[in-house]
Structure 1
């Protein structure tokens, strides 16, 4: 067993030295995107898949060059599906859709059972079209178009941050708000529950709970968690997560941070990300009016919710530091909006003062470097078509303590 295998999962900050990360290399699921379904599947364009894979490979290699162990979601899924019990669980879940009808459901359950783990992984992630089945013919197959999907593809698997987040030694499996993404959390939960590497790790939340997405969860410091509330994470989701982390002793403060319910700011990490223990890069157009409610535990199961304060003020208080320094990108409003759309604020810290960012956001990256942050610039012209940056594409599993 290698040292990496022996290292226990655990994350208590955004910036501790990154040791192990979960990625998903773009695959056949992206080839399922068409002008007819890309809106439903939450993409703003049709990516050039080969180039997206090249960009993602370079991202993974940049992490490895910094000593980070890279795990791939689909490799873990295939290993998980080697278990008959895990296969049965996955098949029951993916065939539960009411749109299949009994005839097709019965056929698919038998057909998927006969597949190898690798073949089943392909169906679970890339989906299954009506014209790809060889049986189960009936009313459903007759009335659907040949290219209609019986099982939808999951192109957003690329953004592994959203379906889970590690809070200390616990895997928090999230509940994704958009129907196109619901099954992502189910697959992540299957891996964390059934894969030998993670089976012993405690789990919290779950795909069946109130909506919380990992892109909205920032571990500002040990014991302090900020959670965005907007298009994807609901107030009830924050409340549920807060109760769980307080009960486990994994945080003393949860900051509930309202964000605009719109595409450009779908998650808190599209607005701001940590790049050092006391430095945050933030979209300047929202910096002055972003607020937070500090949520604490009264000790008897009652949550105490403070009045809203400016986010940077509330965060510094909870973190018990004098100032949470905002890196002032100093951009004019138009440039700021463009680089925000291109995930300029969505950086992945691999260590304090070292962050991965898209190379296209030249002005933001220059300001980061002027503030003493080493920027590892990666290409993202195709990866960014789903509206996500380096942080969105990565789920840290192990980081050093800070």
Structure 2
């Protein structure tokens, strides 16, 4: 397959995609840790894996190469002992451990494993009963909450590969994620991008070493020139402006327009792609709950500045008008999740009825449970591949959340 990244749309034929198969980390959620780990329920792992395998097979059956981030991480870290050691040092430091007995014993424990076992363990988490560590000083206890059963917390959100990074054009953002529960995921991405030969020379539009937050579920590539980004619970307006400036000044970028869309800041609508996705040249799914009572929504068209200004920002309150303007469209088909019904729409949005993954223009993958939205999509001429959704949906993410396109055909 092609090396590097090529993602110049949300709808080009999907040729290569990044996934993570849920593992033991899902079973390391407890009722007491669900909130901190950003879960509302605990999926049944055996069924979740079956559903994820079904999803991956649908992608392969439709011509996509499926890459697993855990496999790429093993290959990247296996390049040298120095890379592996640096990764572990950064991981432990970011968990709050200082050099001392706990740090050293955790590092020895993990580095003593094969790289594959080490990566699997990092996703699953390191429980305190796995190691008998006698801490000698108060400073040595940093990062080790006495009530926590883990030295390293599990990463159960990792099967939502959309968020730690975002493939945009020929490059990638490696994201500073909002909550500590997810921040180690983009550290794994950082090492894959830096050390895996497949991504050698790939531009990094924005690295994770920022104080402002951004996540991939808010980053949508509408065309070779236009990126839409949600102003959301997980992505700040400051991050969007910083990224827009990088697109405008970097010669490897083809993007000259960023459309910022302000959505409600809550758990039900955590990312733009949970309420809005592009599925064809002129077709989008949308959850009506993002609009104010008068049908308005704040949108901001960001373009390179003139007369010495870094950027120019135009404020609109009509999403359809904004989309038509940035995409040069005369007509638009906004397909409402749950057919806009006041009961069905929020129920199906909660179960990711708006979180569809386009695998070709007018052809999508989505959860089978959102049958009202699916029927409406079919009425609008969309080809729908339905995937199983009993357990995966408990994590509050659908087909787009569970996938990070690496290569799409041009449209």
Structure 1's 7 and 110: CA in aligned 2 closer, same or farther, altered over 3 A? closer
Q: Specify the SS of the correspondent of 1:29.
A: helix
Q: For residues 39-84 of structure 1, give each alpha carbon's deviation from its aligned partner in whole angstroms, at most 9, with x where no partner exists.
A: 1100110110000000000000000000100001111111112122
Q: Specify the SS of the correspondent of 1:179.
A: coil
Q: For residues 98-148 of structure 1, give each alpha carbon's deviation from its aligned partner in whole angstroms, at most 9, with x where no partner exists.
A: 64453201222233333220122023211111111144544667x965862
Counterpart mapping for 1:211-290 below 5 A: 211-248=213-250, 249-287=253-291, 288-290=295-297
The answer as to whether partners of 1:346 and 1:392 remain within 8 angstroms in 2 is: yes
Partner in structure 2 of residue 202 of structure 1:
203
Aligned residues: CA RMSD = 1.9
Partner in structure 2 of residue 298 of structure 1:
305
Number of aligned positions between the proteins = 398
Partner in structure 2 of residue 38 of structure 1:
34
Q: Specify the SS of the correspondent of 2:261.
A: strand
Structure 1's 146 and 202: CA in aligned 2 closer, same or farther, altered over 3 A? same
Q: For residues 250-292 of structure 1, give each alpha carbon's deviation from its aligned partner in whole angstroms, at most 9, with x where no partner exists.
A: 2111011111010111000011101101110111233533331
In structure 2, runs of 5+ residues without a counterpart are: none
CA–CA distance in structure 1, aligned partners of residues 105 and 336 of structure 2: 58
Of 7, 10, 14, 2:10 maps to: 14
Q: Specify the SS of the correspondent of 1:33.
A: coil
Partner in structure 1 of residue 91 of structure 2:
94
CA–CA distance in structure 1, aligned partners of residues 95 and 168 of structure 2: 34
CA–CA distance in structure 2, aligned partners of residues 159 and 388 of structure 1: 7
In structure 1, runs of 5+ residues without a counterpart are: none
The answer as to whether partners of 1:9 and 1:169 remain within 8 angstroms in 2 is: yes
The answer as to whether partners of 2:26 and 2:43 remain within 8 angstroms in 1 is: yes
Structure 1's 217 and 144: CA in aligned 2 closer, same or farther, altered over 3 A? closer
Structure 1's 349 and 86: CA in aligned 2 closer, same or farther, altered over 3 A? same
CA–CA distance in structure 1, aligned partners of residues 73 and 362 of structure 2: 33
Q: What is the Cα deviation at residue 244 of structure 1?
A: 1.1
The answer as to whether partners of 1:243 and 1:301 remain within 8 angstroms in 2 is: no
Partner in structure 1 of residue 63 of structure 2:
67
CA–CA distance in structure 1, aligned partners of residues 336 and 351 of structure 2: 18
Partner in structure 2 of residue 172 of structure 1:
173
Partner in structure 1 of residue 124 of structure 2:
126
Q: What is the Cα deviation at residue 309 of structure 1?
A: 2.9
Partner in structure 1 of residue 51 of structure 2:
55
Q: Which moved more, 1:19-28 or 1:286-295?
A: 286-295
The answer as to whether partners of 2:77 and 2:191 remain within 8 angstroms in 1 is: no
Q: What is the Cα deviation at residue 30 of structure 1?
A: 0.7
TM-score (norm 1): 0.94
Q: What is the Cα deviation at residue 381 of structure 1?
A: 1.5
The answer as to whether partners of 2:299 and 2:316 remain within 8 angstroms in 1 is: yes
Q: What is the Cα deviation at residue 8 of structure 1?
A: 4.3
Q: What is the Cα deviation at residue 97 of structure 1?
A: 4.2
The answer as to whether partners of 1:215 and 1:268 remain within 8 angstroms in 2 is: yes
Q: What is the Cα deviation at residue 151 of structure 1?
A: 0.8
